[in-house]
Structure 1
């Protein structure tokens, strides 16, 4: 989960520096390996794919781990009696984990197709960026909404596919694990470890190292801190408050889903996933149109507007984490508690909440991390006179203050 601390736009800034025509990587290819021109270009479709992949692969990893934990190891142990480890993986493990892998892939696809920040930094023409230009630069709300409709239909269809593929399965597993991987040979384990180190190096170590180099001396950090202390505190308070509200709402929504009939539960699962399908730019436009009225000016012009935007965009992830924890709780424990008391809130406080605390904590931190790094929704709905750290970084970036951007990172 720590890998999610680096938001996509920071990955774009880093790799935009490294893979620029005169960047460190292309300079190495030209001066050391004798290339006549720069072979790599971050400011391209392939560059955008690479950056988004580095930013969002933790979602696939987390869901795949959950899928592997749900596998009964006895299936694999039985298969290993007659087949090789690789055949067991291809015929037993992968098919059983495939719903989670597919779900993770859909999540990443939707994240990527609705992302605005990476495309803006790398100057790639995509739907969200065109929608933003129509709304913010050309002030054409109608054109912005019309442009966003195909994008919305695509993401809604993908959410339907994702809900169907999971069909009640747990998105996150809080158990201890499904096996120790003993059937993998040393060579395979070595390759797996090497691959993980390469991915972590490219997605974490390289970005952090580049940012440290760009930031330079300690005085840069001091200047960045002095000029942004208010924004840092504001961002933490708003993100933490939003995450707390999301966690509370998610618990009651997830608990209601669990108690519903299977058909109603499936519908609720789709409806609770649907906000994620709305591109941040479209969500921001919608919030502006709904709340930018004289009667609701108290909300639109204050911090509650930001909180509402965070909740509307990120609560699906909180619900998934809490719901997964509730799914793994033995329902008979609540039924037994009903024999002692008819007070439902007391049962929830004494039985349910302590048993799902890991899911609540996970949901809170996922919500906090996503809210803390949000740029797409915040960029449109930020009230005058307020500023979060992502907005501050975005402004510094457009002013060419690279050292300040790196220091704030």
Structure 2
């Protein structure tokens, strides 16, 4: 129940902060808000530990000031620290979707508000119903992303359900017993995913937005909310970058830290590239079955199970499956993390591939089935038509794999570790300047992916 309460708290806080951030950007940057919305949505790929380390630095600096002024010791730990960090780590998706909805308000609604009087009551009664789908979808997404996470909670010394499952295995339980104990959490995740899928199918989040008129520019309360939203945006940007840059500047040998971590960087990138490429094969098959089969949603639901399973349960299940005489050659090799990442993130690529297929003209798909008979040939032809979206899907999985911790930690072969695992180890036992350097390098890698994704999405015009 504690994990559920923490995740719900982070979800509600994230939705509230996301609404304020969207309002702030809507007021301050009306001409470029559509591009900012896409940038926000892609920032969800930034690993959560970037926010973790940054807020620890920030809280420590504030604690020194408080201690100097009042003599009170303040420790940034516990449930509050977890909820705040989770909310800020997931803020881009909530703010991005809400901003998309704000920019997609029909012109006739804007005219109605202008005639009725642009006050906060008009915003609540007229605008909020249009923003509700974005807030609900964003909240459900934030819940699904964080409910199985135990990386953030472990850093702040808070127990979670996923971490408890891992402890049960360490205490002597079998994989089957741990999986059975994890079924309630899996059931909750699948139920939320079902609601998420149905809700998002009824919603229209178009990246081809038309920036409309803001009828609330004369409302003092809305201006105040916009100012607060811009302050939250500043915290979201400046706390990670400012604190990491400051901490990294205290490192006397930045190049030495990166060179010492070259093996982890190379191995992490190699595993992520392989995971993104290999995941595309089953994802294409799932997408093809989703389109051709009447039970398409059950097909995607099947692909979602590994993604929804708590990290320790998925990792232990893979160990039980692959640690056999027949499959031991893979289990003992450096490719085992690729297997885990493919199992977890095939669902992400399957969803994007399915959306790409659904966006194609129905008659074109029928012609493909006639002239390119067979599932494999049809998928190859569709991949050529939707190449940019399919490449974007693989880049997303690459970025997610670079930041993955929960599953890869359990199945990592001896003598190997990814950059993410090394950062988490240093979060517990290492020096802050080294952690900052490694986090900034991770930000650099993911930023390159985000730039390419932004170009693939048409820069906000041709998504």
User: Is the structural similarity TM-score above 0.5?
Assistant: yes
Name the SS for the 1:182 alignment partner: coil
What are the within-5 Å matches in structure 2 for residues 65-80 of structure 1?
73=106, 76=109, 79-80=112-113
What are the within-5 Å matches in structure 2 for residues 373-384 of structure 1?
373-384=403-414
Q: Is the 8 A contact 1:117 1:376 kept in 2?
A: yes
Q: 1:349 deviation in Å? A: 4.9
Corresponding residue to 2:346 among 305, 309, 315: 315
Partner of 2:443: none
CA distance in 2 between counterparts of 1:326 and 1:162 reads 20
CA distance in 1 between counterparts of 2:166 and 2:204 reads 32
Give yes or no for the alignment of 1:161 onto 2:195.
Answer: yes
CA distance in 2 between counterparts of 1:360 and 1:131 reads 35
Q: Is the 8 A contact 2:166 2:312 kept in 1?
A: yes
What are the within-5 Å matches in structure 2 for residues 359-370 of structure 1?
359-370=389-400
| Total equivalences in the alignment | 394
Q: 1:223 deviation in Å? A: 1.6
Partner of 2:259: 226
Q: 1:61 deviation in Å? A: 3.6
Q: 1:280 deviation in Å? A: 1.0
Distance 1:78 1:256, change over 3 A: farther
Partner of 2:46: 6
Q: Is the 8 A contact 1:100 1:171 kept in 2?
A: no
Partner of 1:283: 314
Distance 1:116 1:347, change over 3 A: closer
Partner of 1:176: 208
Q: 1:49 deviation in Å? A: 0.4
Unaligned stretches of 5+ residues in structure 1: none
Distance 1:123 1:228, change over 3 A: same
CA distance in 2 between counterparts of 1:72 and 1:18 reads 37
Partner of 1:27: 64
CA distance in 2 between counterparts of 1:213 and 1:82 reads 50
Q: 1:287 deviation in Å? A: 0.7
Corresponding residue to 1:402 among 432, 437, 452: 432
What are the within-5 Å matches in structure 2 for residues 103-182 of structure 1?
103-136=137-170, 138-141=171-174, 144-166=178-200, 168-169=201-202, 173=206, 175-177=207-209, 179-182=210-213
- CA offset digits 1:377-405 (Å, max 9, x no partner): 01101111221101112223333332222
Q: Is the 8 A contact 2:58 2:239 kept in 1?
A: no
Partner of 1:324: 355
Q: 1:355 deviation in Å? A: 4.1
Partner of 1:386: 416
Q: 1:209 deviation in Å? A: 1.9
Give yes or no for the alignment of 1:256 onto 2:289.
Answer: yes
Q: 1:290 deviation in Å? A: 1.0
Q: Is the 8 A contact 2:97 2:134 kept in 1?
A: yes
Q: 1:199 deviation in Å? A: 3.5
Q: Is the 8 A contact 1:16 1:42 kept in 2?
A: yes
Name the SS for the 1:186 alignment partner: coil
- CA offset digits 1:146-183 (Å, max 9, x no partner): 542332232222223223333x347864x411x31313
Larger displacement relative to structure 2 (388-397 or 234-243): 388-397
Q: 1:122 deviation in Å? A: 0.2
Q: Is the 8 A contact 2:133 2:203 kept in 1?
A: no
Q: 1:271 deviation in Å? A: 2.8
CA distance in 1 between counterparts of 2:316 and 2:394 reads 26
Distance 1:80 1:209, change over 3 A: closer
Q: 1:141 deviation in Å? A: 3.3
What is the RMSD computed on CA atoms of the aligned residues?
A: 3.1
Distance 1:315 1:347, change over 3 A: closer
Q: Is the 8 A contact 2:264 2:418 kept in 1?
A: yes
Normalised by the size of structure 1, how large is the TM-score?
Answer: 0.84
Partner of 1:18: 58
Partner of 1:212: 245
Name the SS for the 2:404 alignment partner: coil
